[in-house]
Amino acid sequence: MRRLLGILVGAGMLLGLAIMPVAGAASDEPGKFIVMKHLCNADIQSEADFVAVENAGAGGQAGGEGTLPGLVATVLACPTVVTTADAPTEGAIASEPTDFEFTLSDSAGASYALSADGEFMQAALCESDIQLDADGSGSIDEDVCLDVSMYGFEPVAEGQLTVTETTPPGDSRFGTVRFTPASTDEMALIGGIANPLVFDTTLDETVDEPPLPLEEYADNVIVAHVYNFQGAASMPNAAMEAPTTNTALPLTLVFGALLASAGAALAVRRARA
């Protein structure tokens, strides 16, 4: 049940790391927008299903929106997915690659498409990075990892940004969106949780240190975790049913036992093969 790591995400500063936001101000520098795409297991068919997993948390820690245990629990239930042109981190938990498309339009009238303009960034989050027992094995291991690969778009002009999922992965539909804890990126979402997503990139605050020690997570960067639910929207609520494992590798993970600290941040580093 071990995973060979491709460690690109380190989430160091977990318990008790206070990242104090400072007043946000519009920047003259162009920004960067990042999409991390997640494809939920078939037992998550509604927002209520998703929130139940999020609230349960992980690593023995209570979850909830905006917490690290909640975010990691949802990444376990909804592994990342990349297109068939790319590959998830070797050995890390991920959905099977499948094609999907996003388009972006910014306040300067520039347009982007993931297939043509998206910068693929392979990444993984391992137990050793977050110092928590993800699989409930009783030890913290370097080779038990979650893929957190993503796609970046830049330069994105400051101001209103519209992000549209034009082609969903597989037989799925837009479900919900979440943000990296302690990033303040959620402040930029002005259009509600719906497809398309509408942001005002001037509204998120800066922080003394980025929540993830990688330049992609510094100032002028917004990271959106976009989750899709599988199947038709009319399927029944199934939050408490036994979860299926939608991963490329056979690893048993316990959703009620994973990660730590609500205000902490994930740490990301470029993946090593």
Cα–chain center distance at 114: 16
> What's the pLDDT at 182?
81
Which range among 10-19, 114-123, 214-223, 239-248 shows the weakest confidence by mean pLDDT?
Answer: 10-19
What is the bridge-based pairing of β-strands 150-156 and 124-126? unpaired
> What's the pLDDT at 269?
36
> What's the pLDDT at 16?
26
Residue 270, exposed/middle/buried by CB under 10 A (0-12, 13-18, 19+)? middle
- pLDDT tens, 169-183? 999 999 999 998 888
Residues 6+ apart with CB under 8 A from 80: 36, 37, 38, 39, 88, 94, 95, 146, 147, 148, 149, 150
- pLDDT tens, 105-142? 999 999 999 999 999 999 998 878 877 666 767 778 88
> What's the pLDDT at 241?
37
Q: How confident is the model at residue 155 (pLDDT cuts 50, 70, 90)?
A: very high
Instruction: Judge whether 4 and 91 are in contact, CB under 8 Å.
Output: yes
> What's the pLDDT at 179?
93
Instruction: Judge whether 77 and 55 are in contact, CB under 8 Å.
Output: no
- pLDDT tens, 192-228? 999 999 999 999 876 655 554 444 455 678 999 999 9
From the CB of residue 178, how many other CB atoms can be counted at a distance below 10 Å?
24
Query: Mean pLDDT, the chain, as a whole number?
Result: 75
> What's the pLDDT at 147?
94
The Cα–Cα gap between 153 and 135 comes to 33
Q: What's the whole-number mean pLDDT along residues 57-75?
A: 86
The Cα–Cα gap between 3 and 251 comes to 8
**Residue 37 φ then ψ, to 5°:** -95, 130
Domain spans in the chain, listed from the N-terminal domain onward? 30-230
> What's the pLDDT at 97?
98
Give the predicted TM-score (pTM) of the model: 0.75
The Cα–Cα gap between 15 and 45 comes to 32
From the list 208, 217, 207, the residue with the least C-alpha distance to 9 is 217
269 or 89: which carries more pLDDT confidence?
89
